[in-house]
A and B are shown apart, each in its own frame.
Chain A
Amino acid sequence: MNRLLAALASRLVIVVPYLWLLVFFLVPFVIVFKISLSFTALAMPPYTPVFDLQQGLSGLMAALGELTVENYLWLFQDQLYVNAYLSSLWIAAVSTVLALLVGYPLAYGMARAPESVRPVLLMLVILPFWTSFLIRVYAWIGILKPEGLLNQFLFFLGAIDEPLIILNTNTAIYIGIVYSYLPFMVLPIYATLERMDHSLVEAAQDLGCPPVTAFWKVTFPLSMPGVVAGSMLVFIPAVGEFVIPDLLGGSRTLMIGKTLWQEFFSNRDWPVASAVAVILLVILIVPIMLFQRAQARAQEKGL
């Protein structure tokens, strides 16, 4: 009896979360894919064909016959969507590089700080991540707008005569993404730098290597896993970002997350919104696989 119970328990450990993720993570993607192949209709739910299991196989075949790739053709024909994808990738890439430029020195400084203060520094990096994302983006509106705090400060210094227009431009989006995702960049890099054997750098320097060269030849290559993980953690969500371009970007800012949102909430075009999501996913599959491989490798090492 006990053994039976134990066997059952070990099954449940796997089956329960597995089923949950199947139903609420995988099946939804299948539905998105299916709807992306449907015609737009003015019904609720606004799409056809409606898939009906009760009609059996013939119903299935009939439904399949009604599927259409029209939504995808539409996406590729309309320059708006193509531009939105390209500009999302570009904005995410620029932001990732900027986040690396800000995050790496910070992670490096943390890893080189005295051991006793490292936990405090770590805490300080993590803390903003816990506070609301929306609020942190919102905080920048008051700083960046034409009569905002940054311009007031620059006027006070006498550095400018005209207010800088930053809000509602791509610069504001870069700032927003770097700011919001910085902890994701800093933490993996810090983890690799902190574990690094510093005697390697000392050895290089003993052999006559100048500190800067030692950094590029020893430290940086060794921190590469952290850099890759951090960059993926910034790049992937940034491509599909909605809140930042919506609040900080201008009306002319094209980002695919925003386009999908508008397609869904304003135009109520579910099939096109689904097709947008499917293509976004296809674009992100390569970086997601890279990230997963890095995760799996880190796990094997027991890190």
Chain B
Amino acid sequence: MAGHWGRFNVVSLVFGFAFLYLPIVLLVIYSFNESQLVTVWAGFSTRWYVALFSNQGLLDAAWVTVRVAFLSATTATVLGTLAALALTRYTRFRGRVLFSGMVFAPLVMPEVITGLSLLLLFVAMNLDRGFMTVTIAHITFSMCFVAVVVQSRLITFDRSLEEAALDLGATPVRAFFQVTLPVIMPAVLAGWMLAFTLSLDDLVIASFTSGPGATTLPMKIYSQVRLGVTPEINAVSTILIAVVSVGVIVASLVTKRAEVQRRRDEQMAARG
């Protein structure tokens, strides 16, 4: 499409982005509010951030959340990458339709259904609800997101590279680790980050599948939000937003650099 700024386009962009960002910006600004009343500005203060670090319940919940997110994202990335490989490499196997259905369905499945069904499974299996069950639940839905991200990269992957490695005597497993994986690595990392933030973010599924002693940060925030808007919640939110934004921006810069490097390498290789 030809690129030029039209008046209509500029207006819709400005309006759209204002709508997307204004609530977040306001939330961040009011986290630095001196007043206990969230919507009345009473001067700049960092007191709510200080209060945050003496709130043991919140800190414990944050620690649980980070551990669940790390463990579930890592497992989901392995399983999701395998699922993506299965879907792109093996076009025919028994139950493939069911398999691809199970990979895509969780992407749009209402969370209350996923949460309820997993909880009933854990009860039927007599598993104690807690850290492990939340992690398993998060792995299950986030591996599907990883699979979609990795699959879109695998589709455009030039298989002749892998075939060349096989011709040169590499085993398929070795060819995968030495040729395919490095090429799809940006997508795998993006999938990991997506899985990590999905886990960090989840309230509904965690509420169903968690048990005593495994309260996650969103569950903690939710129970406080129900009691009303407080500057402390604004402060937690601001920290979360900052961490995630910095992570996403750094990751995108790194993948962009890796992409540029890869293109340069390919050009060098083509020139011989």
Contact = CB atoms under 8 A, between A and B. Distances in A.
Nearest to B86: A14
Contact of A109 (B10, B121, B207): B10
B229 interface: yes
A130 B197 contact: yes
A81 B266 CA distance: 60
B106 A25 contact: yes
B136 to A, nearest CB: 6
B113 A140 contact: no
The list of the 3 closest CB pairs from A to B, nearest first, reads A240-B110, A106-B16, A28-B117
Given A22-B102, A142-B39, A17 B110 contact: no
Interface residues on A, range: 35 or more
Interface string A250-262: 0000000100110
Contacts of B60: none
Given A109-B16, A132-B201, A136-B23, 11 more contacts: A5-B171, A13-B89, A21-B140, A24-B121, A109-B12, A123-B252, A128-B21, A130-B197, A236-B110, A237-B108, A240-B110
A34 B160 CA distance: 49
B131 interface: no
B221 A134 contact: yes
A257 B101 CA distance: 23
A242 B204 contact: yes
Nearest to A111: B1
Nearest to A103: B16
Nearest to A138: B225
B110 A135 contact: no
B118 A257 contact: no
Contact of A102 (B16, B101, B137): B16
Interface in B30-75: 30, 38-39
Interface in A197-215: 198
A10 B172 contact: yes
A99 to B, nearest CB: 11
B267 interface: no
B100 interface: yes
Most chain B Cβ neighbours within 10 Å, of A12, A127, A194: A127
Contact of A112 (B3, B116, B249): B3
A295 B104 contact: yes
B117 A32 contact: yes
B140 to A, nearest CB: 4
Interface in B142-184: 143, 147, 151, 155-156, 171-173
B44 to A, nearest CB: 17
B93 A14 contact: yes
A9 B1 CA distance: 44
A130 B23 contact: no
B87 to A, nearest CB: 8
A10 to B, nearest CB: 7
A193 B203 CA distance: 34
Contact of B110 (A130, A186, A233, A284): A284
B140 A20 contact: yes
A270 B5 CA distance: 56
Interface string B10-27: 101101110111011011
Contact of B12 (A106, A131, A287): A106
A29 interface: yes
A139 B27 contact: yes
